[in-house]
Structure 1
Amino acid sequence: MKSIKLIAILFLAICYACNEKPTTKVTWVSSTSTSLWENKVYKKSQENNLVDVNITIDINKKQQTITGFGGCFNELGWDALGMVTPEEKQQILNDLFDKEEGCKFNICRMPIGANDYAVDWYSHNETAEDFEMANFSIDRDKKRLIPYIKEAQKINPDIEVWASPWCPPSWMKHSKHYACKSNSKFNDLPLEWSSTEELVSRFIMKPEYLQAYALYFSKFIKAYSSEGINISSVHVQNEPNSAQNFPSCVWKPQDLGVFIADYLGPQFKKSNIDAEIWLGTVERPQIERVNDVLDYKNTKDYVKGIGFQWAGKGAIEAVHAKYPEMQLMQTETECGDGSNDWKAAEHTFELMKHYFENGANSYMYWNMVLDETGKSQWGWKQNSMISIDSKTKKIVYNPEFYLMKHVSAFVAPGSVKLEVDGDDKDTIIFFDNTANEVIVLAYNSKDEDCMLNLNVGDTAVNARLTAKSFNTLTISL
């Protein structure tokens, strides 16, 4: 009789346990300027003496789909990687691209020809008036850019590569020179051709030049395909309003529309090129300049997305409202002045917040790896995720590396941005449909600890955030 009662009690206990709601699983990674990438054990806090940050999350309030994160393959980055041992180089690449332990970068940029972080100026065809592109060649890229991309592909075979020119072949410009602004220290552009005027095309707007340039893009994509690298999209001009002392080309917006609708789009169709055409990279806040490109003929039929960087952040909100069907990308996070400090990471977080709140589907860092100087060949010292000292060979992972990892390692492609209610000034919320997880990127910008209170349906999560810390909390529902 006692054994029957015992069995009955055990049965009731099992039933109670099965009906009780299981404890919510939360993983938590935190970074401060003195303690980078600390895995914390989550335990619900009972403290009530801290400033509260309260956020309510409704997983049904879904916004844009997130396609991914990445950086740019640049020549000087590959040269910097060549300074360390093969084992150290492999570890750096794993830390950027590995799909299990690294940043999991899945979308990366590359230049078409030289950019400001090339070793020196070049294009893929500097033979003047070679309108048939008979002398087109990517041989230069086989020394640096292609090996860089190939190493990333070994780690993540599914990585997407998109490309943009900083400058067309120099003979296609009125000045016959790669720069738009003269600087005797860094280029030999004659003063008579130096101008910072915007909305005036430096490209020669004649049919034979436009057609040759469209063919140039087509040949670039096919040449890379023959190397086993699929170019997923092209952004037609890096910063089309900026006259620089390094490779650059200013375009009148309407002229970009002419190039896309009358030449580039038809050329891609004729050559069976499946790479997408994007309007990028937009670096000015005026939506009118975007409109002037897209309003020309059937340009919108060819353009699948719009990329923004620098002052272009001022245009993304209006562009997202007017062109809701367009994919949007933050194409080059602002690269600072080589400080590589916590303040730079704080600024990058503010940029992330702005771009994702205004419809961005993806976010790109700029130089993933540089030497300790951070200098381009044209004199600008910039930040990088990872720095390598050319003398000591010491490798330093800068705060922005960890910030990028705080989001890219957790927010899988296909996740969605969530709308939230509450004190969300320093938070970005995502939802992974596949894993049924809410991912919270929270920055405590205060000089003291605060209590983050999250309510997801009937699930409550709270965490004490250290002062001046980045935090990623993954909540399994």
Structure 2
Amino acid sequence: MKKITAAMMLVTAAFAAEAADVRLISSTPAGQWVDCGSIELAEYDNTVSHDVMVTRYGAQTMLGFGGCFNELGGKALKSLGKEERQRVMEMLFDSEDGLNFSVCRTPVGANDFATEWYSYDETPGDFELRKFSIKHDKKYLIPYIKEALAINPSLRIWASPWSAPQWLKTNGHYSNRADAINGLDPSKEVPTGNDQMILEPEYLTTYSKYLSRYVTEYKKEGIDIFMLQFQNEPYTFNIWPNCSWTPAGMTKFVGSYLGPEFEATHPDVELWLGTLNTDRFDHVETMLSDEAMSRYIKGVGVQWEGKDIVKKISETYPHLPIIQTENECGDGSNDWGAAEHTYWLMKKYIEDGAGMYMYFNMVLGDDCRSSWGWKQNAMVVVDTKSKKATFTPEYWLMKHFSRYVQPGARRLITLGNNYNLSAFENEDGSRVIVVFNPDETVRNMSVSLGCDGVMNLSLQPKSFNTLLITE
């Protein structure tokens, strides 16, 4: 095991301060969010080496943690009684007892966890959008968002479409892959690597105005959209709502249509490149090297296959924030193993430079199945018969990060055998360390805080742990 020497520890000497207070919170399969009390700091000794050193040198700024408001989640919540529903929402959004989520995503029209396919204007040829309406969202989705905002009025909301209205697309269908469940003719499939949008000026102009209108109508509902990522997974080929794009198509749309439209109508709304589900960094380079497109792009969002290029994007475009936009959603198991898988994903994304981590289904009902047959995991599962909610292991994992790591925190550089540890410093000077013990046995670790002292930890088997350090 690699150890940290006294010479390495000198880099933190300049930050020495009065004695720090350390509190440990731990979760295991047997018990979650257990306050283990204070951890006594051992005195710094320059003759002793340690497993990990947490420096006070910062990397990227953290922008927040959150999840996606999906329609099936809103429907499941609506099946609960008032008190239980309020309890669930507070467990997600309350800053003291909940996850303290600070930023969330919402779909523009139907996604794969909508109750059915819909868009805000399915009238062919309605280029002036006279039939545009968000009425569908007022049943489940908008009430879901408003309940969250009532608990945390500072919650920031960003949006992304899964599919444009069908009549704006080359195959006239919400999906690009044929299946009995969606009724798409196999001859009308649009595999990845093709533009499913009709790239004619009238169609792209209408779609840019459609997205602008969405922001306007949501604002009328008291929901401010601060950021738009114009396509969820442009590289997907699947049976639910989606839309294939090529880099050339995306560049044309943003640079000549969407960018100018939002500059004129919603200059306060950020346009980001995303959500990219590809490891093709050359495609990212192609798009961001286009002058017309890049002038409008304020950041990059990635998910799934995109995790493999986070570090490269962060290093190549240090002026652009990069965020993770959707977790790998699982298969409905909602078990401890799923939480462990998500931990490693969070660790990779954050260590590689992502400033935000987004869970997908915050809430689902019963068997956690989408309207297109895909079972996924959720942080909260609602039993619609008993009218009770269960909090899954991934809920508690998210809390180990989101409860104390605030927007504006810096990820701290760590040295040594740090594969299972991440550290952050909030703007108020408090530090947060999240460490995972994947072993079946107790793991002993020594973690140096430099001249602030040393934590000698005995981590329970299969445990997620948060250390809150205040001075």
TM-score (norm 2): 0.93
- The answer to whether the 8 Å contact 1:54/1:423 transfers is yes
2:148 maps to 1:152: yes
**In 2, Cα distance between equivalents of 1:279 and 1:460:** 42
Residue in 2 that maps onto 1:372: 366
Structure 1: distance between partners of 2:19 and 2:272: 46
CA contact (8 A) 1:53 1:450 kept: no
2:199 aligned with 1:205: yes
Counterparts of 1:55 and 1:474 in 2: how far apart (Å)?
16
Letter in 1 for 2:437: N
Unpaired runs of at least 5, structure 1: 1-20, 47-51
Q: Deviations over 1:389-418 (max 9, x none)?
A: 223333211000000001100101111001
Match of 1:445 in 2: 438
CA distance in 2 between counterparts of 1:194 and 1:272 reads 34
**Which residue of structure 2 lines up, in the alignment, with residue 18 of structure 1?**
none
**Aligned-pair CA distance for 1:107:** 0.5
Question: Which residue does the alignment assign to 2:104?
Answer: 108
**Are 2:338 and 1:341 equivalent residues in the alignment?**
no
The match for 2:375 among 361, 372, 381 is: 381
Letter in 2 for 1:193: K
Q: What residue in structure 2 maps to residue 192 of structure 1? A: 187
2:51 is paired with a residue whose SS is strand
What RMSD in Å do the two structures reach over aligned CA positions?
1.4
Q: Quick check: which has more Rg, 1 or 2? A: 1
| Residue number in structure 2 paired with 1:68 | 64
Give, in whole Å, the separation in 2 of the partners of 1:45 and 1:356: 27
> Paired residues, what number?
448
Would you say 1:214 and 2:211 are equivalent positions? no
SS at match of 1:353: helix
Supply the distance in 1 between the matched residues of 2:302 and 2:214 (Cα, whole angstroms).
23
**1-structure distance, mates of 2:266, 2:384:** 45
1:449 aligned partner, one-letter code: V
Q: Look up the SS of the partner of 1:36 in the other structure.
A: strand
The 8 Å contact of residues 422 and 433 in structure 2, kept in 1 or not, is answered as yes
Aligned to 1:94: 90
Q: 1:68 to 1:45 in 2, by over 3 A?
A: closer
Give 1:289 deviation, angstroms. Answer: 1.7
How many Å separate the matches in 1 of 2:265 and 2:336? 47
Correspondence 1:119 to 2:115: yes
**Greater mean deviation of Cα atoms: 350-359 or 292-301:** 292-301
Give % identity: 41
For residues 164 and 237 of structure 2, what CA distance do their matches in structure 1 show? 14
Structure 1 residues 225 and 43: CA distance shift in structure 2, 3 A: closer
**How far apart, CA to CA, are the structure 2 residues paired with 1:171 and 1:370?**
31
Aligned with residue 164 of structure 2, among 145, 168, 184: 168
Q: Deviations over 1:97-141 (max 9, x none)?
A: 011221010100000000000000000111111111121111111
Partner secondary structure for residue 420 of structure 1: strand
What are the residue-to-residue correspondences of 1:257-268 with 2, within 5 Å? 257-268=251-262
Paired residue secondary structure (1:424):
coil
- Give the structure 1 partner of residue 52 of structure 2: 55
Distance across 2 between alignment mates of 1:343 and 1:58: 31
The answer to whether the 8 A contact 1:44-1:463 is kept is no
The one-letter amino acid paired with 2:93 is F
How many Å apart are 1:23 and its aligned residue? 5.0
Distance 2:29 2:299 in 1: 36
- 1:277 aligns to what SS in structure 2? strand
Q: Give, in angstroms, the shift of residue 463 of structure 1.
A: 1.9
Confirm or deny: 8 A CA contact 1:254 1:296 kept in the other structure: no
Letter in 2 for 1:57: V
Equivalents in 2 of 1:302, 1:234: separation in Å? 11
Distance in 2 of aligned mates of 1:118 and 1:136: 18
Which 5+ residue runs of structure 2 have no aligned equivalent?
Answer: 1-16, 43-48
The amino acid of 1:457's aligned partner reads G
Which of these residues, 119, 127, 132, is aligned with residue 131 of structure 1? 127
* 8 Å contact kept, 1:74–1:145: yes
Instruction: Provide Cα deviations, 1:342-376, integer angstroms capped at 9, x if missing partner.
Output: 01000111011101111111100000010121100
How many angstroms apart in 1 are the aligned matches of 2:305 and 2:97? Answer: 34
**In the alignment, what sits opposite 1:16?**
none
Separation of aligned partners in 2, 1:398 and 1:93: 15
| 1:10 match | none
Superposition deviation, residue 433 in structure 1: 2.8
1:455 aligned partner: 448
Task: Give secondary structure in 1 for the equivalent of 2:358.
Answer: strand
